[in-house]
Amino acid sequence: MARRRAFTLIELLVVIAIIGVLIALLLPAVQAAREAARRSQCTNNMKQIGLAMHNYHSANGGFPPAKIYGGMNVGSPYYNDWPGTQGLLLNTTAFTLILNSMEQSALYNAYNFQLPSTNATNGGANVNPIGGTNSYLANTTVVSTTIASYLCPSDSLQTPYTGTGAFSMTNGARASYLLCASRYYEYYNPRYFLAAYSAYGNRPPDEGVFSGSDFSCDIARITDGTSNTCMVGESTTTKSSVAYGGFWGAGVWTSSHGRAYPPTSSLVVYGLPNYAQTTGTSAIYAWQMGSLHPGGLNMLFADGSVRFLKSTVNPWVWFGLQTVRGSEVIGADAF
């Protein structure tokens, strides 16, 4: 009876090498498929946010304010409680206001809208939390709850954050999405705009859907067209400081607004999508939009659609998409 010949060492090495090559060929495809699934889930998250925003608009006649009585506004005499002078703060975010349309009715009902989300303040005129210094504790449990629909699956930093001062919060739950505010973040409130832009109807001519605080933009105001105006953008939680937002419910400094600047501004790089602020890293700055999806980021438009914009989008096109009445002419192929 003939003896069966065993594999030689060389034959085994050849088989192992072939298996290694096959794995090397398949691994990128598997990773690409996983990223495609994550990007699809992110798109679905943003569509749900868009639907919730429009439900709020239908019920209240406008989109929710980016923030109500923020503690980060410019100083005296620009008090939140205009025409009062108490300098009150609530730090209530738009993402909190739409919870009941995000399948989060339990959190919406548990949140006390008469009290602050945090006592965070960056100085200036508005430093007095409604209900007292510790009244925000009533909402700590809600704003520390992680909500999957507010997080992109590709984001790596999803742990809550505890901070002080302008970032005062306890286990503030993060968010991967910011509200498109053009260049006007939470530093500005209606009283400031009234003084600075009285010639433009008390609002800046290059405002976004969510510029500043304490203002509700309606669809009629978006004369550029809802399909040509961004409303919410991705913003990776990995930023140049671990304290920077987004935070969906804890309305601290940098929590909710997403900025963009025209190319003529010296600050333009702080508003470009996915523009890393630290050489050799992917870390972006506060208020800056970007994602970990290869090549670009998802953007929710005011008509409820979600489109993928390239990181290399022209800066003028990028800024034009952030304004509601800038009269820019932007073709779909410019994205």
Q: Is the pLDDT of residue 2 over 60?
A: no
Residue 60: band (very low, low, confident or very high) from pLDDT cuts 50, 70, 90: very high
Residue 17: band (very low, low, confident or very high) from pLDDT cuts 50, 70, 90: confident
Average pLDDT over the chain, rounded to an integer? 90
Mean pLDDT of 86-97: 95
Mean pLDDT of 264-289: 86
Dihedral sign from CA coordinates of 107, 108, 114, 118: positive
Mean pLDDT of 109-121: 96
- Give the per-residue pLDDT at 1: 53
pLDDT tens digits, one per residue of 205-246: 999 999 999 999 999 999 999 999 999 999 999 898 999 999
Residue among 183, 204, 184, 180 nearest 194 (CA): 204
Q: Is the pLDDT of residue 44 over 90?
A: yes
- Give the per-residue pLDDT at 96: 98
Mean pLDDT of 17-33: 73
129 φ, ψ to 5°? -60, 135
- Give the per-residue pLDDT at 183: 95
- In 61-81, which positions are buried (b, 16+ CB within 10 angstroms) versus exposed (e)? ebbbbbbbbbbbbbeeebbbb
- Give the per-residue pLDDT at 218: 96
| Residue 228 three-state SS | helix
pLDDT tens digits, one per residue of 307-326: 999 999 999 999 999 999 98
Mean pLDDT of 165-177: 94
Q: Is the pLDDT of residue 6 over 80?
A: no
- Give the per-residue pLDDT at 29: 65
CA distance 33 to 36: 5
- Give the per-residue pLDDT at 63: 98
pLDDT higher at 36 or 211:
211
Q: Is the pLDDT of residue 3 over 70?
A: no
Residues shown for the chain: 335
Q: Which long-range contacts (CB under 8 A, 24 or more apart) does 218-224 make?
A: 218/57, 218/61, 218/62, 218/63, 219/57, 219/302, 221/324, 221/325, 222/302, 222/324, 222/325, 223/324, 223/325, 223/327, 224/320, 224/323, 224/324, 224/325, 224/326, 224/327, 224/328
Q: Is the pLDDT of residue 74 over 80?
A: no
- Give the per-residue pLDDT at 276: 83
Mean pLDDT of 145-171: 92
Weakest-pLDDT range from 29-38, 64-73, 136-145, 200-209: 29-38
- Give the per-residue pLDDT at 30: 63
- Give the per-residue pLDDT at 279: 61
pLDDT higher at 217 or 82:
217
- Give the per-residue pLDDT at 231: 97
Query: Which residues have CB under 8 Å from 246's CB, separation 6+?
Result: 174, 175, 176, 177, 178, 235, 237, 254, 255, 256
Weakest-pLDDT range from 118-127, 249-258, 270-279, 301-310: 270-279
**Token code pair at residue 50:** 């868009």
| Residue 232 one-letter amino acid | V
